[in-house]
């Protein structure tokens, strides 16, 4: 691998040292602390619209900064990543089926479970485990979604039925390549917007 003149080579000792320090952080003793959601409401002194405009500008500026970072920096980090293990391919369908069953249980719990968010597993799993925690797990351990995608197992089961096996090679519908990630972006924006404006009791 050839690096630029101003780029320092990352040695294996440095990589293993960084990984060891990261693991040791989880064993550092800590004291009890209150979550930020337990604090009292903060009274804004300035008009609310100033805070809204300021927050929107900060988010927009963060995307501008990311766009200004040279792509070579991201490629350099990707080439020098530390691969601790390789995920096997065989458990993907089994994990996907389990994830699908878990998703179905959450949907049922959302309909027939307790109306209080703190006593219903659906909001806890959705906003804590998936919305926040899954992002960090995905960044640390790689493409976990390829293994727990609930639709992959359902697809494998349905196409294994008699008369549907040929649909794996010749599906009824083809996804238009020109759309790319546009539907996912629109759905994610709608989901985040709904989460922010839904008039649920605080």
pLDDT digits (tens, 9 = 90+) for 47-82: 778 888 888 898 889 888 877 877 777 677 667 766
- Two tokens, residue 182: 């546009």
Which of 84, 116, 139 delimits the end of a domain?
84
Q: What is the pTM assigned to this prediction? A: 0.56
Taking only Cα atoms into account, the Rg of the chain, rounded to an integer number of angstroms, comes to 23
Average pLDDT over residues 80-87: 66
102, 190: one domain = yes
58, 99: one domain = no
DSSP string, 113-162: S-SSGGG-HHHHIIIIIIIIIHHHHHHHH--THHHH-HHHHHHHHHHTST
- Two tokens, residue 13: 């000792």
130 touches 144 (CB < 8 A):
no
102, 13: one domain = no
Q: Residue 175 belongs to what domain range? A: 88-202
Confidence check: pLDDT of 5 > 60? no
198, 113: one domain = yes
Average pLDDT over residues 74-102: 75
User: Which residues lie below 8 Å from residue 151, measured CB to CB, with a gap of 6+?
Assistant: 96, 100
76, 110: one domain = no
Count of structural domains within the chain: 2
């Amino acid at each position: 691998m050839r690096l630029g003149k101003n780029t320092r080579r990352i040695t294996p000792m440095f990589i293993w040292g960084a990984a060891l320090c990261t693991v040791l952080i989880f064993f550092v003793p800590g004291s009890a602390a209150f979550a930020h959601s337990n604090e009292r409401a903060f009274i804004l002194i300035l008009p609310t619209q100033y805070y809204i405009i300021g927050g929107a500008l900060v988010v927009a500026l963060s995307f501008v900064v990311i766009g200004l970072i040279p792509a070579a920096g991201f490629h350099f980090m990707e080439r020098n990543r530390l691969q601790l293990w390789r995920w096997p391919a065989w458990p993907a369908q089994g994990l996907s089926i389990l994830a699908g069953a878990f998703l179905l249980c959450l949907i049922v719990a959302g309909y027939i479970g307790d109306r209080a968010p703190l006593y219903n597993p659906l909001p806890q799993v959705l906003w804590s485990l998936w919305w926040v925690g899954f992002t960090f797990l995905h960044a640390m351990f790689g493409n976990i979604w390829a293994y727990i995608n609930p639709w992959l197992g359902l697809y494998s089961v349905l196409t294994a039925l008699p008369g549907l096996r040929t649909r794996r090679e010749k599906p009824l519908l083809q996804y238009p390549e020109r759309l790319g990630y546009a539907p996912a972006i629109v759905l994610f924006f709608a989901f985040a917007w709904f989460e922010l404006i839904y008039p649920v009791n605080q």
